[in-house]
Amino acid sequence: MKDPVYVILLAGGSGSRMGAGINKVLLPLGGTPCIARSAEIFRAFADRMVLVCRPEESEAIQKAIRPLSLPFPVDFVPGGDTRQQSVANGLSALPSDGESAAMVLVHDGARCLADPALVSRVLADVTVFGSGVASVGVTDTVKETDLSGFVSRTIDRSSLRAVQTPQGFRLKDLRFAHEKAAEDGFEGTDDAALMEHAGYPVHLSEGSRRNLKLTTKEDLIMAEAFLADDSPLPPYRVGMGYDVHRLTEGRKLILCGVEVPYSLGLLGHSDADVALHALMDALLGAAGLWDIGHHFPDTDARYKGISSMLLLDQVLEALREKGFVPSNVDLTIVAQQPKLSPYIPRMVENLSRALSLPADRVNVKATTTEHLGFEGRGEGISAQAVCMIRQI
């Protein structure tokens, strides 16, 4: 049977250095409270969690983690005056496991960018070495000062490690280290220091440079940047377009750039190619480029009677400028009359050429409305289009 794993999550910080006015662990990061992210990291590992926080904040923290539906029990324990006392309070809430080899991970609630792989490395080290403390190499040169603004010496950084959390130990060892520190009046800034004080070897595990402890506003900005990097938006976008034109005498009927013989034609400022208008709106919509009315206002004389195929070229150019090309398009033309099916192959051919897409990525359909509505009464023709575009 696997040794039980307990987590002590410290959430009692004041956030005073952040200037946020609330406990920093409650600050949202990418829309999720920091403490919820920190608790989630242990989903696959923990058998029980003790959340150490100020009693007046336990309700807000419970609310923050409730949506996670964590698969293990979470107990709330009041924090102490020091970090060390807070961990001690957490330890006293954990079961007394006798001779079992229970492991405990102590983690700062403000380190919400730790990841499961890091937890896994720490636990593996506890299993093998009895302890695992996340740490990273120091990249800055570190100097000691004489406290009057002068350097007293430069420390060789090759042997230095900056220590993070999680810090993992055998539960009984960490309990002993805390008891010994209390007896000796020893104060440490992390649990590893207490273990060292009690004479245990402390093994360092490979930490992560992303595992920031949110302390300052700058940390928050960096954390948001890391999260944004984690979830790049997909390079594909979809768009939809819809258009209607009235049928009238004395006009040509142009659909997808094809002249369809009919006694009536569509009324409009341009050639009133309703299908292409819907398609252009779909393309512009997908690219976040407003609509054709914005690009080609019907008050502009340049567009009077213009072929919508030329406007489509301009729309495609606007997309290219923004780094997009069409991936596929699908149109539906709604007309009671005339019968459009004989002209659809030419429409597809036109669009396929204009969009630089193979014909099987250009689909044009025609339907009637069973004589219902304005299309059914032959008063007008409507068209709908959807498209997918991709980033180039």
Q: What share of the chain is helix, strand, coil (3-state, %, to 5)?
A: 35, 25, 35
Q: Are 329 and 362 in contact (CB under 8 A)?
A: yes
Phi/psi of residue 304, nearest 5 degrees: -70, 120
- Applying CB under 5 A, which part among 45-53, 235-243, 344-352, 356-364 lies near Mg ion? 235-243
- State how far the alpha carbon of 144 is from the alpha carbons of 68, 160, 163, 362, 389, in Å: 44, 13, 18, 69, 57
- Applying CB under 5 A, which part among 200-208, 236-244, 257-265, 354-362 lies near Mg ion? 236-244
Q: What is the distance, to the nearest Å, from the Cα of residue 274 to the centroid of all Cα atoms in its chain?
A: 38
Nearer to Mg ion, 126 or 354 (CB): 354
190 binds Mg ion (CB under 5 A): no
Nearer to Mg ion, 242 or 262 (CB): 242
Q: Burial of 107 by CB count in 10 Å (0-12 exposed, 13-18 middle, 19+ buried)?
A: buried
Binding residues for Mg ion restricted to 194-213, rule: CB under 5 A: none
Strands (E), 3-93: 5-10, 28-29, 32-33, 48-53, 74-78
- At what angle are helices 308-321 and 274-287 packed, to 10 degrees? 10
Min dist. Cβ of residue 274 to Mg ion (A) = 6
Min dist. Cβ of residue 319 to Mg ion (A) = 19
Closest CA to 105 of 84, 91, 85: 91
Residue 183 DSSP one-character state: H
Closest CA to 254 of 176, 311, 298, 295: 311
# residues contacting Mg ion (CB under 5 A) = 2
Min dist. Cβ of residue 347 to Mg ion (A) = 17
Residue 66 DSSP one-character state: G
Task: Report how far residue 206's alpha carbon sits from residue 106's, in angstroms, rounded to the nearest whole number.
Answer: 16
Min dist. Cβ of residue 363 to Mg ion (A) = 20
Q: What is the distance, to the nearest Å, from the Cα of residue 261 to the centroid of all Cα atoms in its chain?
A: 52
Min dist. Cβ of residue 368 to Mg ion (A) = 20
Closest CA to 68 of 45, 44, 43, 49: 43
Min dist. Cβ of residue 283 to Mg ion (A) = 14
Binding residues for Mg ion restricted to 237-296, rule: CB under 5 A: 243, 277
Which residue is nearest to Mg ion, using beta carbons?
277
Strands (E), 207-302: 236-249, 254-255, 258-259, 264-266
Q: Are 309 and 272 in contact (CB under 8 A)?
A: no
Measured between alpha carbons, how far apart are the two ends of the chain, in Å?
Answer: 52
Q: Are 336 and 382 in contact (CB under 8 A)?
A: no
Min dist. Cβ of residue 366 to Mg ion (A) = 18
Residue 157 DSSP one-character state: G
Extract the tokens encoding 184: 């000796």
Extract the tokens encoding 172: 């009984």
Interface with Mg ion (CB under 5 A):
243, 277
